[in-house]
Amino acid sequence: MALNESGVIRRPIDTEAQDSKQQRQNFETALYKEWPNHAGFEHLDEHRGPVKLLVKGNIPSFAAGSLYRTGPGQSAVEDTARGTHYVSHWFDGFAHTHKFDILAPEEDGGDTTVIYSSRRQSEEHVAAIKKIGWRHSTSFGQRADPCVGRFAKFMSFFKPHHENNSVVVLTNVPGLPDKRPENTTTGHRTGTRNVYLSTDNDALQEIDPDALEPLGYTKQVALHPDLKGPLSCAHAQRDPETGDYFNFNIEVGRKTTYRVFRVNAAVGTTDILAAITEPDLAPAYIHSFFLTENYVVLCVPSSHYGWSGLKILWENNLLDALKPFDKSRRCKWFVVDRRHDKGVVARFSTPAGFFFHSINAFEKCEKDETGQERTVLNMDLTMYETTDIMLGLYYDVILDRKDAAKAYWEKWGHQNLATRHARVRFPMPTCPQTEHEGAAAEGEEVLSIPSPHSGELSTIHPGKAGKPYRYVYGAGSRGLSTFMDSIVKTDLKTREAVLWSGPPAHSPCEPIFVPRPGGASEDDGVVLTVVLDGTAQRSYLLCLDAATMEEVGRAEADFAIGIGFHGHHASAL
């Protein structure tokens, strides 16, 4: 293991055991001394711009376009009817969207320009909290106010609920009317007709691609009348060739129904590919799924809601509505045909576990032990052994208020909280499965690369979506803080990793891979991420060479930009 002057760490695979031990030691002894905690989450400002950032080094012209990012912004509302309202969980921070316009030089030899702007997206939500003093809309994990009784919570069901879409940026969503006065493409990108923000429910929020102004919400039922369930998936999937849009909708109640659907990008119509209802199928918190050339693959992890999902109404948040993790509740997988309207064509299961993010999925044609060719599905995901990780994302833990971080890690332990890049392999049956056969089938885990050799919030070369691939980029944790502290490039062939790591208290967020047009290799391009310097309370857009993970340029702001969840690069090429 070596650290060179550019902040690049190379980790051969034989350091895994040493890294795991070192992570535990770091959390136990050096966490709070070496890496200062991040302050200022309550008062992250918006900058409607344009704000020109200071560019240092070189950001290649092929990265020109608009980098959108979204996530939580302010985490407190002051001067409410009940005093200051504090947001409990990171996932519930009020939505704040950011845009970095990367402008290629007009002449050869010129410098790339970066223009920044941002806008808060939950002003109505904040205004409602300011008026009544507490959050009445369903949240992810807002802790109950002891001064607000059950009756008040029940009455909140009858108040207008305000959405807080802060998770994923989606562009060119088909099937929905654009709310912009003129449906034209402007700004520093090509082919961007609309921009939507999503979260883990059935609502999509449209924003203006240029000004980031909120334009209103649309429910999935507008796509198809059967999509009436309240829960969905933040990470919709796209067919890289047709642009067709895939997702699922969960209807809860006496029975649970998962409806997997496709929106045709060419004509805007929506088809229900499968309506999955089984006696023992529970509603679950599911943040992503898988798409291959011919199938939609839905994994229902061991993150089940209580009372057939109705506990969400009682608790008024998703996290408290989850059942305690149970190793006997295996992950259930459903393979849905997306080409020939055959519905569910295979079922299988894997041991209990949890994941936020799928990474990629692809099919391979292989011969079985009899010499017969069959399709084998490979699904890559960032796996957790339990659901405990969600409890570590309360603001108290992230900011280590009153030693909350130490208490959390001492209670749950490093083993349950560490991530790993996992690959699940499943040979498709040669004849249609019955439900009994589907229940007996098992998927096989054939690859596991633990942190810090792999990361979270992973991205790959967009041209490799749905295909075999080698490299994945993620936000990593080496155990040096309560948050992410590095960007890791994982080689799935050699299982080795190369990490970029900044000075103490520099926390990067999700990396975005931007390929070089006509690139000679899969890792020919750059990685863009936004880094918060927790000591100086400033942020910068960081550009890394995707092959070497060395810094090639950055664009510096003189203010803090909230560490967000996900982003999207809309190219100008």
The answer to whether 304 is a known ligand-binding residue is: no
Looking at residue 400, the DSSP 8-state letter turns out to be T
111 residue type, one letter? D
Cα separation, 97 vs 389, whole angstroms: 25
In a 10 Å sphere around its CB, with 0-12 CB exposed, 13-18 middle and 19+ buried, how is residue 367 labelled?
Answer: exposed
CB 571 within 8 A of CB 66: no
**Strand ranges for 81-152 from DSSP E:** 83-86, 95-103, 113-120
CB 49 within 8 A of CB 411: no
Token pair for 221: 């039922």
Region at 230 (left for phi over 0; alpha for psi -120 to 50; beta for the rest): alpha
In a 10 Å sphere around its CB, with 0-12 CB exposed, 13-18 middle and 19+ buried, how is residue 324 labelled?
Answer: exposed
Cα separation, 194 vs 214, whole angstroms: 12
The answer to whether 287 is a known ligand-binding residue is: yes
CB 262 within 8 A of CB 242: no
**Strand ranges for 239-330 from DSSP E:** 245-251, 257-263, 270-276, 290-291, 295-300
The answer to whether 235 is a known ligand-binding residue is: yes
3-state SS assignment for residue 42: helix
Measured over the CA atoms of residue 387, residue 391, residue 393 and residue 399, the dihedral's sign is: negative
The answer to whether 569 is a known ligand-binding residue is: no
Q: Torsion angle of alpha carbons 351, 430, 240, 250, nearest 10°?
A: -50
Cα separation, 420 vs 197, whole angstroms: 28
Q: How far is CA 266 from CA 244, 330, 568, in A?
A: 8, 38, 22
3-state SS assignment for residue 264: coil
Locate all alpha helices (DSSP H) within 278-379, ordered by sequence.
311-315, 318-321
CB 202 within 8 A of CB 220: yes
Place of tokens 């999937």: 237
Determine the length of the chain.
Answer: 573
The crossing angle, in degrees rounded to 10, of helices 16-25 and 404-417 is 160
In a 10 Å sphere around its CB, with 0-12 CB exposed, 13-18 middle and 19+ buried, how is residue 110 labelled?
Answer: exposed
Looking at residue 148, the DSSP 8-state letter turns out to be S
Token pair for 572: 């100008």
Which residues contribute to the annotated binding site?
Answer: 235, 287, 357, 566
Binding residues for Fe cation: 235, 287, 357, 566
